[in-house]
Structure 1
């Protein structure tokens, strides 16, 4: 099946651009609604960090290390590299008797403007703590220490990544379709859009066992600390705040987005084919409104979907719309 038209950009009364993609909405029984091809194989990228954090909690490593909900939110985060994010991850590593060189995620300039300005003005290079995935990697190191495993936790055959692979196949309900290496050097396991949505539905419908309790803790941590999951000015943080923490949402590179709605027992996954963030943010906002999870009148909806697109002089020049087949 071909990708479906999801989000359109209109300028001067003419259709200028179209974001196409694949969407699946699941409950505990499976797919209940879809657009495009729910069986399209994708890399979830950072949208699956709560799956990657499952072994951290299920193994007992999180409790043995005394991890708080804030730590668990950071384990699921693609943070901005703000001073608060960097400080918290640094303190986490120090409590383990570890430090920044033990990370394997690599360094990049933070997306947080204040921290980027501080580094630039002081002629200081960013470190691995600034990496948006440093919280996830701190979680990997916590599990590595608990297992007594070797330091190269990012390698495919390491016990940490074998545990992530097993968790991924179990919650998606299918063998992975392959793997790639993510921007942070950790393996990223390919699955279908529907498989990713099934996994999110599993988080939305956790059982009473060990896995269910782990899922509940991770979802609650994300909802309670949206500022740690992403950061100021980011869609994940803004959307979770707008929904009062009742729904966990998480983006991934190349325009992947997921949502977990425990109150409704629903899991959502989408992939915009062109890899553009604008399209994925608009599409997830539209879905959250459609599913009754987000108030259509909330300002965040205008920010990511219905508000005008303005030029550098502040003039409204274009608008995003849901494509006809996606809006009905």
Structure 2
């Protein structure tokens, strides 16, 4: 049986990837699926919008005068561009803390020009360059506002990590005692839950009206609207989430996760989508995401020139010549029942 994402060298199949997809509406109905929609999954950074809920709910965001761009970067896996760096540093200054207080570790910036600039200036790579520095700054903001220990803000027992666990469990409608916890790449707790529940969370991010708490409805709308208003903060130049949200201008909210996870919310429809590439192959996930959107009626994916490289992902050689293509070859299955 052919796998759904296929990698061609010339006209010949070379490799392939298996995927799992769940498409869910805001009321919890599984609409479409591919593979196993109940696959236990670490959505990784796709959950960052939900990890930002307590930043606002505690009052920390307002106390420290977060604007919408700063809310967006709290949800980001940013590329370490200059405007990302400056935004994080502004937040830290208002918090009255230093980069050293960020416990996210660091890595070279994903943006090539930012990396070249570092090399030209002979600068060290510091925690602000971590794609997760916005999330960590938000965690510190909440801990400071709540007068909690900031040295242990990463620990699962810390009150803020418990607030995050509750927020994820509630918006994704999955009991918190059933959420499996491990450690993310940036050192904070990471949450495992069924793919279906991640999709449900994104349906509610797209349209929060089915959330029981009126206060939380407003918070989730603020997060969604911030991401859509400032998509460049969520990713950066030539990043999938940024390009997709820019192209659809308020119709889609999108956030990738490590190990080939992609979650999207269709705002007008109140539909959430969660995708996991079984082997963690990141080259397959954007192609899968674009095909899911196409099958859900977003035919314009083939018209946006800035999205073409995700629809028809090229395989390049060392000379930057296109010598193949990554293609989607699958059809979503309609759920037999409209009830979960």
Q: TM-score range, shorter-chain basis?
A: over 0.9
Equivalent residue number for residue 24 of structure 1: 22
Alignment of 1:165-314 (within 5 A): 165-175=165-175, 176-207=178-209, 209-293=214-298, 295=300, 296-306=302-312, 308-313=314-319
Cα distance, 1:260–1:4 mapped onto 2, change above 3 Å: farther
> For 2:187, what is the secondary structure of its paired residue?
coil
Alpha-carbon distance between aligned partners in 1 of 2:14 and 2:310, rounded to the nearest angstrom: 18
**Residues 204 and 260, structure 1, Cα contact 8 Å, conserved in 2:** yes
Bigger shift: 186-195 or 285-294?
285-294
Deviations 1:75-94 (A, max 9, x none): 00000111110111011110
1:81 aligns with 2:80: yes
**Residues 226 and 245, structure 1, Cα contact 8 Å, conserved in 2:** no
1:322 aligns with 2:328: yes
Alignment of 1:2-41 (within 5 A): 5-29=3-27, 30-41=29-40
Deviations 1:261-285 (A, max 9, x none): 1211111111001111111111111
Cα distance, 1:104–1:294 mapped onto 2, change above 3 Å: farther
Task: Give the total of aligned pairs.
Answer: 326
Alpha-carbon distance between aligned partners in 1 of 2:38 and 2:23, rounded to the nearest angstrom: 12
Deviations 1:23-42 (A, max 9, x none): 00110232111111111101
Deviations 1:41-91 (A, max 9, x none): 011111110010011112222112211100100000000111110111011
User: Deviation at 1:178?
Assistant: 0.9
> For 1:87, what is the secondary structure of its paired residue?
helix
TM-score normalised according to structure 2 size: 0.91
**Residues 9 and 315, structure 2, Cα contact 8 Å, conserved in 1:** no
Alignment of 1:98-137 (within 5 A): 98-137=97-136
Cα distance, 1:168–1:324 mapped onto 2, change above 3 Å: closer
Note the residue ranges of structure 1 that are not aligned, 5 or more in a row.
none
User: Deviation at 1:291?
Assistant: 2.0
1:58 aligns with 2:64: no
Note the residue ranges of structure 2 that are not aligned, 5 or more in a row.
335-340
Cα distance, 1:62–1:294 mapped onto 2, change above 3 Å: farther
Alpha-carbon distance between aligned partners in 2 of 1:35 and 1:265, rounded to the nearest angstrom: 20
**Residues 33 and 333, structure 2, Cα contact 8 Å, conserved in 1:** no
